[in-house]
Amino acid sequence: MFKNKSAWFSSSVPQACHNFWRLEGGSIAGCRTADYLFSEDATCADTMRIFESKDYLWNKVAVFHSLFLSACERRQSVKSVCIGHYVLPPASVQDEVRQVVGRLIWEFEDEQSVAQFGFLLFHRVLVARQKMSAVKSAKATLDHLIRSQKVKLLKVFIIQ
């Protein structure tokens, strides 16, 4: 699964994740050279150092929750698991995300809850798009009415 890929693991990640990574063909590397960075705790000192690094601040690296590996193991595939759902942001950002979404994907207990989370997230995006579309439509209608009123006013002005 992880052939020719390297990973760095925070001290917060259980050894079983390291073992699974190696078992599936991946190698272990330092945080500056690894293809993937995994942590389970955004407040862990080694993870916080990454969040404070230039590479992180300049969007050159991302930290992923190690439960991504558990999802890959359950599905026996990397390609069927969206790694973007497992981005581990700093703790302060997690609080803001929770206010919008409710829970982060790794805070769910089972696969069914994860699927429901995906549906909920999809639904919220869909509703937001529909609201934007409705606003654009209302604005277009309003613009049309304003233009037509200006034309009527202009005709009245010209006739007088």
pLDDT for 143 beyond 60 = yes
At residue 113 the predicted structure's pLDDT band, cuts being 50, 70 and 90, is: very low
Classify strands 27-28 and 36-39 as parallel, antiparallel or unpaired: unpaired
At residue 119 the predicted structure's pLDDT band, cuts being 50, 70 and 90, is: very low
d(CA 43, CA 92): 10
HSE-CB at 136 with a 13 A cutoff on CA atoms is: 6
Between the ranges 27-41, 119-133, 140-154, where is the mean pLDDT highest?
27-41
pLDDT in tens, 61-85: 999 999 999 899 988 989 989 898 8
d(CA 143, CA 149): 10
Q: Within 10 Å of residue 105's Cβ, how many Cβ atoms?
A: 20
What number is the average pLDDT over the span 8-28? Answer: 95
Alpha-helix runs per DSSP H in 40-159: 45-51, 54-57, 67-75, 91-101, 111-159
CB 84 within 8 A of CB 118: no
Token pair recorded at residue 91: 């703790």
d(CA 7, CA 28): 5
